[in-house]
Structure 1
Amino acid sequence: NQHIPQYCGSCWAHGALSALADRIKIARQGLGDEINLSIQYVLNCAAHTAGSCHGGSHTGVYEFVHRQGFIPYETCMPYIACSTDSTDGFCGHVDTSCTALNTCRTCDASGTCRAITAFPNATVAEYGTYSYFTGGFGAVAEQIKAEIYARGPVATGVNAEPIVNYAGGVVNNTKIWNMMVNHVVSIVGWDMDEETGQQHWIVRNSWGQYWGEMGFFRIVMGKNALGIESEVAWATP
């Protein structure tokens, strides 16, 4: 849940990095340890490229990791839902500046922490985008499906306001005024309603498993419902 231990508008980092972590597992054919990538490191160091607790860009995350050449695992820098411009909760009392200590650290029993300079990390080899603005609704849906099938989940924007109280089912809100994106999620796959023949996306949110369908929701495909097909980003590890 991106809002624990306090509110933080870091959906853009959660959506982008959860999709990238999935792609790493797929590229490994399911072998090796489960990993989570350090969202907090991105909040600490990518403010100018990607964003902060006040919002950001999923494409910017991939640009940042590609340029930096690495992103540490979460065990280096666990998520605390703070950025340098955040004052919610305890954020005003912690240092989230971009330093070696705030990239990867360990602490001893006395409370003294030190930076770790050699640590497990992931990379972004390349990244890109898909959008109905360039491909049209039907065409971009097929491009997204092909991308997911070939390499794994993608990050995408969505209008979150109509789904705040979502409790299940397939969202079919295609009103044009609800296509303005204000949230980032990750599309992990798709399915089809056998009765109607309508395909829909299966989407992972970052609000916790209490929400929706164990943290996921479904939304109609090919109609840019809630802007779901307008700002899609992918990256390869």
Structure 2
Amino acid sequence: PDSIDWRKKGNFVTPVKNQGPCGSCWTFSTTGCLESAIAIATGKLLSLAEQQLVDCAQAFNNHGCSGGLPSQAFEYILYNKGLMGEDTYPYRAENGTCKFQPEKAIAFVKDVINITQYDEDGMVEAVGKHNPVSFAFEVTGNFMHYRKGVYSNPRCEHTPDKVNHAVLAVGYGEENGTPYWIVKNSWGPHWGMDGYFLIERGKNMCGLAACASYPIPQV
């Protein structure tokens, strides 16, 4: 489709969450993507535990409040055999000991799809045909003050080693001839456009096409 917004297609996107002072954006991108994928597959919208990813996913090259990648977090959920819910493993915005209880896992991953590096058309196809997609990009100072409109930055980097913030593409469209992504952030609902932002699409803006991924949920 020319445009899509999963927020408007049904109850497929959880409310915007807030990562707080912990560098755990990667966990919110991960839970947001899996929450939406499960909702689209089953009609059930769950809220999943970022804190479990913060505390337990180190073996998959993730570092709690110091960063990580959604693709590696999806692999963790796949091999760990499950992710608990927000209610049984609440978010604390700090590193902690792993308290995973297998019998309380409510979300499962059967495969991880890594979209080919720099293939932004592949991202469009995934979001258009399947579900929201996790991606990372380079946040620079001016992004913090984003309020509305299509964000574009001629001075950011475009390579995977420079990306520093993971988010969730929940749709795409075009405004006055500028194609954009609709993106769910994890800085609470008072930032940006009710917690969301638009970013220019089709140019690998700030490296957004460098490492995009999504899970196939086990339902």
TM range (shorter): 0.7 to 0.9
Say yes or no: does 1:103 pair with 2:100: yes
Off by >6 Å, runs of 4+ in structure 1: none
- In our comparison, the structure showing a higher alpha carbon Rg is 1
Residue 178 of structure 1 and its aligned partner are, at CA, apart by 6.3
Unaligned ranges ≥5, structure 1: 84-95, 105-116, 134-139
Say yes or no: does 1:37 pair with 2:51: no
Tell me which residue corresponds to 2:124.
145
Q: How does 1:15-164 map to 2 (within 5 A)?
A: 15-28=29-42, 30=43, 32=44, 34-49=45-60, 50-83=62-95, 96-98=96-98, 102-104=99-101, 118-133=103-118, 140-161=119-140, 162-164=142-144
- Provide, for residues 127-186 of structure 1, a one-character-per-residue CA deviation record: whole Å limited to 9, x for no partner: 0212444xxxxxx22211111122211110111223111011001224353663111001
Say yes or no: does 1:234 pair with 2:209: no
Q: Quick one: which amino acid aligns to residue 165 of structure 2?
A: H
Equivalent residues, number: 196
CA contact (8 A) 2:158 2:210 kept: no
Match of 1:2 among 19, 32, 49: 19
Aligned CA distance change for structure 1 residues 147 and 46 (closer, same or farther; 3 Å): same
Moved more, 176-185 or 12-21: 176-185
Unaligned ranges ≥5, structure 2: 1-17
Q: CA RMSD in A?
A: 1.7
Distance in 1, matches of 2:76 and 2:157, equals: 31
Give the secondary-structure state (helix, strand or coil) at the position aligned to 2:157.
helix
Residue 187 of structure 1 and its aligned partner are, at CA, apart by 0.6
Give the secondary-structure state (helix, strand or coil) at the position aligned to 2:100.
coil
Distance in 1, matches of 2:158 and 2:144, equals: 13
Distance in 2, matches of 1:72 and 1:144, equals: 27
Give the secondary-structure state (helix, strand or coil) at the position aligned to 2:112.
strand
Match of 1:184 among 149, 166, 171: 166
Aligned CA distance change for structure 1 residues 184 and 201 (closer, same or farther; 3 Å): same
Match of 2:150 among 170, 182, 200: 170
Q: TM-score, normalised by structure 2?
A: 0.84
Distance in 1, matches of 2:154 and 2:127, equals: 23
Distance in 2, matches of 1:142 and 1:185, equals: 18
CA contact (8 A) 2:169 2:183 kept: yes
Q: Quick one: which amino acid aligns to residue 90 of structure 2?
A: P
Greater relative contact order (CA < 8 Å, ≥ 6 in sequence): 2
Distance in 1, matches of 2:210 and 2:147, equals: 24
Distance in 1, matches of 2:156 and 2:19, equals: 28
Tell me which residue corresponds to 1:87.
none
Give the secondary-structure state (helix, strand or coil) at the position aligned to 1:234.
strand
Give the secondary-structure state (helix, strand or coil) at the position aligned to 2:210.
coil
Residue 46 of structure 1 and its aligned partner are, at CA, apart by 1.0
Aligned CA distance change for structure 1 residues 20 and 174 (closer, same or farther; 3 Å): farther
